[in-house]
Amino acid sequence: MTATHLTARDAVPGRPGHGHGHLHAVPDAGVGVPGPDDAGAPGLALSPEAADLLFRAAHTAYRFTSEPVSDEQIRAIHDLVKWAPTAMNAQPLRITLVRSPEAREALIARLAAGNRAKAQSAPLIAILSYDLDFHDTLPEVLPHAPRARDGFAEERARAEFASFNSAMQAAYFLIGVRAAGLAAGPMGGFDREGVDREFFPDGRQRSFLVVNIGHPAADGQFPRSPRLDLERVVSVA
């Protein structure tokens, strides 16, 4: 297919062989200016306040106040984001709240060196993992397809499916943390095998993300980094 450039306000031109074009954000679109840029949220049904809370003003935090995060807040987050969609309604994500001093120490020792101070500062650290045996719950969560579990006999196929769907669930969880008025600091840099041995000794869960959760300190957020503009991300066929 050949590439054509379009503006978002144009009709999509019909091209032989379904031409493939890009949406233009602005004529010189490139990388977006850092910072929320749409006060009015045109085209959204979501309120500007909610758009700011979840996306536009929300921001990854690296340092936190000492204000604690309660189990009730985690319950509220779960009760919200559990409704978000996954393939086959599979729910492989598991969340381990690392609360005791011993568990915190064991986790922080397994973080990349550059992540330790961030985690030390967080009132709550959570390990996100996926359950290799998520398929055992498919008969419960997908009752209209009672044979769905049978397609997951091989652990490798389960790991691949769980990895994708738990990544989506992790994204929903981060949005949920913000919905609770908290800030998240997700970190991928840690010794996954070491964390799994320590926290999931039965070998049935695989960690993939550690998330600091709390109220951001006044100086706890870096300047926002640029985002790719529309024309770099969206094309039309």
Among positions 43-72, residues that touch a copy of itself (CB under 8 A) are 43-47, 49-51, 53-56, 58, 60, 71-72
If the CB atoms of residues 93 and 111 are measured against a copy of itself, the closer one turns out to be 93
C-alpha 167, offset from chain centre: 6
Nearest distance from C-beta of residue 97 to a copy of itself, angstroms = 5
Per CB under 8 A, contacts with a copy of itself among 192-221 are 198-199, 201, 208
The interaxial angle of helices 71-81 and 155-179, nearest 10 deg, is 110
Q: Do the beta carbons of residue 213 and residue 122 sit within 8 Å? A: yes
- Of residues 5, 8, 39, 112, which one binds a copy of itself by CB under 8 A? 8
Among 65, 151, 179, 191, binds a copy of itself (CB under 8 A): 179
Number of residues that bind a copy of itself (CB under 8 A): 106
Whole-angstrom distance, CA of residue 115 vs CA of residue 54: 24
For a copy of itself, the binding residue among 115, 169, 207, 212 (CB under 8 A) is 169
> With binding defined as CB under 8 A, does residue 29 bind a copy of itself?
no
Only segment of 115-123, 137-145, 150-158, 213-221 that touches a copy of itself (CB under 8 A): 137-145
Report the alpha-carbon distance of residue 12 to residue 5 in Å, rounded. Answer: 10
Of 121 and 169, which CB lies nearer to a copy of itself in the complex structure?
169
Q: Which of residues 107-126 bind a copy of itself (CB under 8 A)?
A: none
Which of 123, 164, 204, 217 touches a copy of itself by CB under 8 A?
A: 164
**CB nearer to a copy of itself: pick between 30 and 193:** 30
- Minimal CA–CA distance to 55: which of 227, 234, 229? 227
Contacting residue, 20, 39, 66, 112, with a copy of itself by CB under 8 A: 20
Q: Strand, helix or coil at 99? A: coil
Q: Mask: binding to a copy of itself, 71-110, rule CB under 8 A, as x and -?
A: xxxxxxxxxxxxxxx-x-x-x-xxxxxxxxxxx--x----
Q: Is there a contact between 64 and 215 (Cβ–Cβ < 8 Å)?
A: yes
Cβ burial, residue 103 (10 Å; 0-12/13-18/19+) = middle
Residue 136: CB minimum distance to a copy of itself, A = 11
CB 29 within 8 A of CB 230: yes
Contact 18, 1 (CB under 8 A): yes
In contact, 63 and 118? CB cutoff 8 Å? yes
DSSP H/E element including 74 = helix 71-81
